[in-house]
Chains A and B, each alone.
Chain A
Amino acid sequence: MRDEPLVLGIETSCDETGIGIVRGHTLLADALASSVDQHARFGGVVPEVASRAHLEALVPTMQRALDEAGVTLADVDAIAVTSGPGLAGALLVGVAAAKGYALAAEKPVYGVNHLAAHVAVDTLEHGPLPEPAVAMLVSGGHSSLLLVDDLTAGVTPLGATIDDAAGEAFDKVARLLGLGFPGGPIIDRSARDGDPGSIAFPRGLTAPKDQAEHRFDFSFSGLKTAVARWVEARERAGEPVPVADVSASFQEAVCDVLTAKAIDACLSNGVRTLVIGGGVAANSRLRVLAEERAARHGIAVRVPRPQLCTDNGAMVAALGSHLVAAGVAPSRLDLPADSAMGLTSVSVPG
């Protein structure tokens, strides 16, 4: 529909330069440039390398998005950009660019929360989100459980990781198994030939004593260390490391904890909809286990397709579109990049 707002979204919080364009809740373009290859040899994202790559990728990625959507910047009704959380220097490139586009084209700019954008992107694929919903966002940068009362006004954090992010644990375990980077897809593949029940790795923060303070929090640091100890003990004993079994058992431990806590969060809040986003949402075992467990309680699971789960511009545009439609005031031109942005508001108030 022509009268729905045309919103452009810019995402540069980590190592992906994403520009997305939506009209209402219809995705028109989702252009992406990734610096992931430049980080591989460091075993993790190097912030300065990511920031340099964002600056280089920005203009060509924007051009691709505009061409793909068949629109110009003059046609756009609003520009949304990830204001935080994320890598400070990387965020700043996107925020500065968003302001430049907004200034030049005389359009409003919305600084938005990256986590809320991960939730909003699901509406591009599955339509309006029943509220309240619970969202579980799992990636190399975040592991969060959120209660979504109103996507444009307020998202309540229920829990988060107290140490490593889920995706980080995948990266670290992949590295110690000598499998490469990024770890998520590699472990997923390696686990297919393994027995998930062969090694009993720990489930962090699931003991009865953790219920009071950390019911919806995650901890993956102990799991990572347990895998390292197990592998090292094998190596010291001169025995071969069963890589597929280790992968499968590790992956099972992560997915078990994530899905158990997500379902618990739904049940304890009387919520019937669970949205899963972030790069780890692409994990095949996580999807299966979440759907299996949710079905037992009549909970619907919504997982966007993998390209929309990882960081991208479409998610930022999707949230921007919700904000425009709800009549939320845009941010001001002094809008900051906020690497530790909280969820108290999903956009930077004007």
Chain B
Amino acid sequence: MLVLALDTATPASTAALVEVTADGLFGVAESRTVDPRAHGEKLAPEIAAVLAEAGARPRDLTAIVAGLGPGPFTGLRVGLATAASMGQALGIPVYGVCSLDALGRAAGPGRVLVATDARRREVYHATYADGVRESGPDVAKPADVTVDVERAAGEGALKYGDIFGVPVEEHLLHPPGAALVALAADRIRSAAPSEVLTPLYLRRPDAVEPAGRKPVLT
């Protein structure tokens, strides 16, 4: 079963094709561009590129897996709108997974902190034991994050490495396609119903209700 994975929860736009079999999965093609303002421009050409690389057409896809974040809102929505629209057009299910979980799973054994950049000097973070989430996801200032781990992963961990004070897995800065698909493997194999892709915003929109009228006469 050929599965498309998309993630735009970090400065990276990631499109990957993963083959899921009855007892395993393997990566077929992956494309990634790191540019925090270019998800909208980069993602679709990347999808076209991985399909071309695999010699596949969109109709060959069985399912789509999308990273739900948390991540900066504007970029995050690019991946989810793309996944939802493709799933609808192809009539195939779409599944959402926590983007931090993909990094946590890929980080493997031991206790790991995953942190990505939430801007405003904050990080989105979660902790993992042997790839399984123990706490989070949450958003906080780096200094307020409890670091009871051996290692850290994610571009936020690299950015605030001096605050966290644990070794950073520099090859694991953005959610990998194969890990995203692995998190949804059971749903893919059992052909679970398609899901509504609801972003993990973790923050409310900035909006203030207007106070009383400001006088113009002085």
Interface residues of A (CB under 8 A from B): 41-43, 46, 48-49, 51-52, 55, 58-59, 62-63, 73, 88-89, 92-101, 103-106, 175-176, 225, 228-229, 232-233, 236, 332-337
Contacts and interface: CB of A to CB of B under 8 A. Distances in A.
A104 to B, nearest CB: 4
B202 to A, nearest CB: 13
Contact of A335 (B41, B79, B90): B41
B22 interface: no
A59 B85 contact: yes
Contacts of B79: 96
B207 to A, nearest CB: 4
A92 B58 CA distance: 22
A184 B57 CA distance: 48
A334 B213 CA distance: 44
B160 interface: no
Contacts of B42: 334
Interface in B138-185: none
A97 B81 contact: yes
A99 B205 contact: no
Given A63-B88, A232-B215, A334-B42, A97 B207 contact: no
A73 B43 CA distance: 21
Contacts of A336: 40-41
B84 interface: yes
Q: Chain B binding site: helix, strand, loop or mixed by DSSP? A: helix
B47 A103 contact: yes
A3 B89 CA distance: 23
A225 B45 CA distance: 48
Interface of B: 39-45, 47-48, 57-58, 73-74, 77-86, 88-90, 196, 199, 201, 205-210, 213, 215-217
Contacts of B47: 103
B58 A106 contact: yes
Contacts of A175: 210, 213
Contact of A58 (B85, B205, B213, B216): B85
Contact of A48 (B44, B45, B207): B207
B77 A96 contact: yes
Given A55-B81, A232-B216, A236-B217, A104 B89 contact: yes
Nearest to B75: A92
Given A52-B201, A59-B84, 9 more contacts: A55-B199, A89-B77, A97-B82, A97-B84, A103-B86, A104-B58, A104-B89, A176-B213, A228-B213
Nearest to B217: A232
A105 B89 contact: yes
Given A73-B89, A103-B44, A334-B45, A51 B84 contact: no
Which of B43, B79, B89 has the most C-beta atoms of chain A within 10 angstroms of its own C-beta? B89
10 contacts: A42-B210, A52-B201, A55-B81, A59-B84, A89-B73, A96-B43, A99-B82, A100-B85, A103-B44, A232-B216
Contacts of B196: 59
B83 A333 contact: no
In order of increasing CB-CB distance, the 10 nearest A-B pairs are A100-B85, A104-B89, A48-B205, A99-B44, A96-B81, A100-B82, A104-B86, A333-B44, A97-B85, A46-B207
Contacts of A95: 40
Nearest to A236: B217
A62 B88 contact: yes
A336 B40 CA distance: 6
Contact of A49 (B86, B207, B209): B207
Given A95-B40, A236-B217, A89 B81 contact: no
A86 B203 CA distance: 24
A180 B86 CA distance: 39
B213 to A, nearest CB: 6
Contacts of B77: 51, 55, 89, 92-93, 96
